[in-house]
Structure 1
Amino acid sequence: MAGKGIKTQDWAAFREEAQRMLEAALDQMQQAAERPWQPVPEDIDARYAVTAEAQGPQAAVDRIIRDVLPYHGGNTHPRFWGWVQGSGLATDLIASVAAAAVNANMGGRDHGANYMERAVVDWTRRKMGMPEGASGLLVTGTSQATVIAFQAARLRVMKDLRKRGQGGVRLTAYAGEGVHNATLKAVELLGIGSDNLRKVPLKDGQIDCAALAAMVAEDKAAGALPFLVVGTAGSVDLGLYDDLNALADAASELGLWLHVDGAFGAWTRIAAEPWRSLSDGIGRADSIALDFHKWMYVGYDCGMALLRNEDEHRAAFSARPSYLEGAERGLAGGEPWFCDYGIDLSRGNRALKIWTALETYGEAAFSEAITGNCALAAYMAAQVEAQPEMALGAPVVSNVCVFTARSDLAPEKQSEVNARVAQTLQESGEAVFSTTRSQGRVMLRAAITNHRSREADVAAAVAAVAREAAV
């Protein structure tokens, strides 16, 4: 069967099509402001049907340009502020080309990509204020990072967990009301159970440490084993921050592992004041979960788990069967291997996206962009308050602005109007707001993690909201 199978028969023709795809991708990025989200066509399933016979690279590129590029998720557009989604960088294209050519498996062994990941981990550790020797791992995102951190936290209080399981021990974890769903998923996935994630009341938008202490004492008296408290750096709905220094003091006194959900908000560490101070104390955490694909703008997917104690991190996951034994030299060298610090043995090269972005734009550019996003949220709040029928749903703390388009209406009617306005503007391509619930009603929500957004975009979007709300 010689000559059969997967083979590029004509490299000259393939090179031509690859260059055509590169030009189309560059156009897509350069013209992001002209390419908002649009509804997918009714025949999209048929367009994406997999054909049985080879079509060749020209046909594949034709279909990608016609049927893939136009129907994106919208988050590259400068007026996209829905949910908390990153906007991607032009450098992602360069990094992705290099990553595809090398096709590195980042699980371990001795090759350059692993050293790059260690450099990126170390840079992040320093930005977060964690001590030298802290451990890190690039993962799909904060959801996976949270599972990794919680597993290490469990082993601190249950040394034989990996062999014997949790058994009848009732572990209890603590988090503020409104904590991200990643925390809930992690306690369920690890068998801790959602009933054992205790929701601590907030005081002025932050975990009430006195209430936390009382809950821990109550659970201990009931025979539970409290082991973990989750602090929030940038809440999903309102962009709020716990007092992380106070929480670190409380965790130390109560014997709890302090984990910080910093999915997007951890990156205020490189912003200007007054926003930088929001995350003061984050470096005192035992673990931090954060994303690069949100407020560091790199392409999906790219998150990180940071753990203060490398020994605890490695103990939670290290497993090396005979076929993965290391060596002092050769390709099987390169210790430590990243597969000993997380769930995945096979891992893609996420570090290259981060490294390429930082080397291309410089750290100061990211600081300016993050600071600018916070300033835009404040500007949006001012634009909202200038509209006689609009009102904020909460004060703007960081980069999230929540508001109602018609404060003069009854709560139920406000909810109807806000939901309709969000959908209408999404479909028109003018702007993307998501919605949330605040003060008992559905409200419009902008989470500004978009480096392409400018004041003109905000002003135009708020004016469009006013126009549609008046209908």
Structure 2
Amino acid sequence: MMEGHRLDPADWDAFSEALEDAARACADRLRHARDLPWQPPPPDMADRVALDEVAAGDPGVIDAILRDIVPYSTGNTHPRFFGWVHGTGTPLGVAAEMIAAAMNANMGGRDQGGAHVERAVLSWLHRVAGWPPDASGLLTTGTSQATILALSCARMRAFPKVREQGIGALPPLRVYAAEGAHSCVKKALEVMGHGSVALRGISAPGGRMDVDALSQAIAEDRAEGWSPLAVVGTVGSVNLGTFDDLSALADLCAAEDLWLHADAAFGFWTRLADLPWRDLSVGIERADSLATDFHKWMSVPYDCGAVLIRDHDLHLSTFRERPAYLSEGQALAGGEWWATDYGFDLSRGFRALKVWATIRGLGTDALGAQITDNCRQAAYMGELAEASDVLDLAAPVVSNLCVIRPRRGEAAAIAAELQLSGDAVFSTTLVDGVSCLRAAIVNHRTTRADVERAVRAVEQVIRSA
């Protein structure tokens, strides 16, 4: 092959045909997702994908992907995949991902169209959140990364010299979250150098943070020499789908001069749903920051999350760093908004395109209706559990999570049997110290019939044990 063309196809027509075949295979997989539950990888999976003999390359690599890798995913495109909050993606998202890959744009900065696409997505998010249009934000890998960015801004507000002086000059910090809050908060504090000791869990009866207990904890910590920094309000808890009282938290944070961060990985999207679910997140419009995921309940292909920061200038001062080779310039080196100024990454993929395509291509009416459907389906699952002679509802259904307690048998064993049979995927969690089956419904393909079939499958496993 001629110099300068070694990595391009030798035969573009043949490659185009192979790509068209792959696109048809992907479309067929999505069309028949109902028939494709999770299946365990074969014993020789490692051998199938080993990279031992690759010097000459494999002209059949696309076929190998479709044959040896695609069938053994997590199965979260299946309508009875309830085990974790795994979004399903959409056909439109697949198309946007392919186009973004063909563009291969580095979205860290520079004057390019994709920057306007990302800012359009962020502006839309501000409106959904009820935030002012001059707020800031950034698309991220997910809520875990977004949480680090948000708490870094909180720290910068409290300690403006932290970037130059480091954390050694800071007093011991304290961040508060409900007991059972997502582990990304603890990880964020560890990554930021404050250690897990910086996180104080607050009692959450019924899955909702006790605001009086929070107030008492803040007073105790101040008396003992801690420096309270932020409160993390949970907007859709991982175990029960519950929502903290964000308005009460906002009042307390204002009185105590603390940062309010909303951990809204999936619960944020109830803002698109019908009542009463739309009101679950009332108060989020007063938060200083929030984190959410598009790849969960919004059905955008993995991965894409977002952080919103109310104070644009603070966000910029927390992360902006422009060495000489990235200094402001003209033409392609210009552009008034560089994503790298608002986070860690300079090399960034064009995540915004699949989000933008989802919002514009599907519309908020359809997206909101799907979210409403999932909440109704979770409520229906709860009704079936309450009516069962072998199941109990472990906790009230608040949003899209339903937790079921088997009256006999081990929840983990029941979940494993259902996963292996292909009937349904549940995960397990603890409620009042008892292991239960947990269903998180975020699938746009799920129907009431799927919910009923899944519950009947659980009952069958219990009765046949």
Which residue number corresponds to residue 196 of structure 2? Answer: 194
Indicate the residue corresponding to 2:428 in structure 1: 435
**Residues 99, 352 of structure 1: 8 Å contact kept:** yes
Query: Mean Cα displacement is larger for which, 397-406 or 208-217?
Result: 208-217
Structure 1 length as normaliser, TM-score? 0.96
Matched AA of 1:439: D
Q: Does 2:443 match 1:450? A: yes
Q: 1:205 to 1:7 in 2, by over 3 A?
A: closer
- The 1:241–1:299 alpha-carbon spacing in structure 2 relative to 1, beyond 3 Å, is same
Q: How do 1:138-153 residues align onto structure 2 when only pairs under 5 Å count?
A: 138-153=139-154
SS of the counterpart of 2:332?
A: coil
Segments of 5+ residues of structure 2 without an aligned counterpart are: none
**Matched residue, 2:416:** 423
**Equivalent residue of 1:226, what SS?**
strand
Residues 212-271 of structure 1: CA deviation (Å, up to 9, x unaligned): 122111111222211100000000000000011111001100110000000000111111
Q: Which residue matches 1:236?
A: 238
1:104 aligns with 2:105: yes
1:295/1:449 contact within 8 Å kept: yes
Match of 1:278 in 2: 280
Could you say which residue in structure 2 is the equivalent of 1:304? 306
Cα distance in 2 for partners of 1:465, 1:444 equals 9
Helix, strand or coil: the match of 2:442?
Answer: coil
- 1:220-235 correspondence runs (5 A): 220-235=222-237
Contact 1:137 1:341 in 2 (8 A): yes
What is the CA–CA distance in structure 2 between the aligned matches of 1:65 and 1:244, rounded to whole Å?
46
Q: Residue 230 of structure 2: SS of its match in structure 1?
A: strand
8 A contact 1:145–1:303 mirrored in 2:
yes
Residue aligned with 2:28, SS: helix
Q: How does 1:196-275 map to 2 (within 5 A)?
A: 196-275=198-277
Q: Deviations over 1:286-319 (max 9, x none)?
A: 0000000001011000000001001111111000
Structure 2 match to 1:388 = 389
Alpha-carbon contact 1:108-1:335 (below 8 Å) kept: no
SS at match of 1:187: helix
SS in 2 for 1:70: helix
| Alignment correspondent of 1:78 | 79
Give the drift of 1:357: 1.2
**Counterpart contact for 2:382–2:393, Cα < 8 Å:** yes
Give the partner amino acid of 1:53. Answer: A
Q: Which moved more, 1:271-280 or 1:354-363?
A: 354-363
Deviation sequence 1:411-454 (CA, Å, 0-9, x none): xxx4x2x2111001101111000000112211000000111100
- Counterpart CA distance in 2 for 1:323 and 1:307 is 27
> CA contact under 8 A between 2:207 and 2:240: conserved in structure 1?
no
Contact 2:115 2:337 in 1 (8 A): no
| Cα distance in 1 between the residues matched to 2:225 and 2:425 | 48
Q: For residue 205 of structure 1, report the CA deviation from its aligned partner.
A: 3.0
Count of residue correspondences: 461
The aligned counterpart of 1:317 is: 319
Match of 1:360 in 2: 361
Offset at residue 55 of structure 1 (A): 4.2
What is the identity, as a one-letter code, of the residue corresponding to 1:461? A
CA distance in 1, matches of 2:101, 2:228: 45
| 1:465 matches 2:458 | yes
Which residue number in structure 1 is paired with residue 32 of structure 2?
A: 31
- Following the alignment from structure 2 to structure 1, what is the Cα–Cα distance between the partners of residues 207 and 74? 32
Q: Deviations 1:29-67 (Å, cap 9, x if unpaired)?
A: 11100111001000001100123233444x112211211
Amino acid at match of 1:47: R
Query: What code does the residue aligned with 1:121 have?
Result: L
Matched, 1:10 2:11: yes
Q: Which amino acid aligns with 1:77?
A: H
- Distance verdict in 2 for CA 1:274–1:202, change over 3 Å: same
Give 1:203 deviation, angstroms. 4.2
Quote the residue 1:177 is aligned against.
Answer: 179
What is the identity percentage for the equivalent residue pairs of Structure 1 and Structure 2?
50
Deviation at 1:385, TM superposition (A): 1.4
Which position in structure 2 is the counterpart of 1:19? 20
RMSD value over aligned CA atoms? 1.2
Residues 87 and 298, structure 1, Cα contact 8 Å, conserved in 2: yes
Cα contact 1:175–1:199 (8 A) shared by 2: yes
Q: For residues 71 and 117 of structure 1, what CA distance do their matches in structure 2 show?
A: 32
- What is the one-letter code of the residue matched to 2:447? R
Deviation at 1:196, TM superposition (A): 1.7
Cα offset, 1:112, TM superposition? 0.3
Q: Whole-Å Cα distance in 1 between the matches of residues 129 and 356 of structure 2?
A: 17
Cα offsets for 1:166-188 (capped at 9, x unmatched): 21511111111111000010011
- Evaluate the alpha carbon distance shift between residue 33 and residue 204 of structure 1 in structure 2; reply closer, same or farther with a 3 A threshold: closer
Taking the aligned partners of 1:84 and 1:162, their CA distance within structure 2 comes to 35
**Greater CA drift, 420-429 or 4-13:** 4-13
Which amino acid letter does the alignment assign opposite residue 368 of structure 2? S
Task: Give the residue type in structure 1 aligned to 2:458.
Answer: V
Alignment check: 8 A CA contact 2:265 2:291 kept: yes
Between the aligned partners of 1:104 and 1:469, the Cα distance in structure 2 is: 52
Is 1:155 equivalent to 2:156 in the alignment? yes
Q: C-alpha separation between the residues in 1 aligned to 2:458 and 2:179?
A: 30
The separation in 1 between residues aligned to 2:64 and 2:9, in whole angstroms, is 19
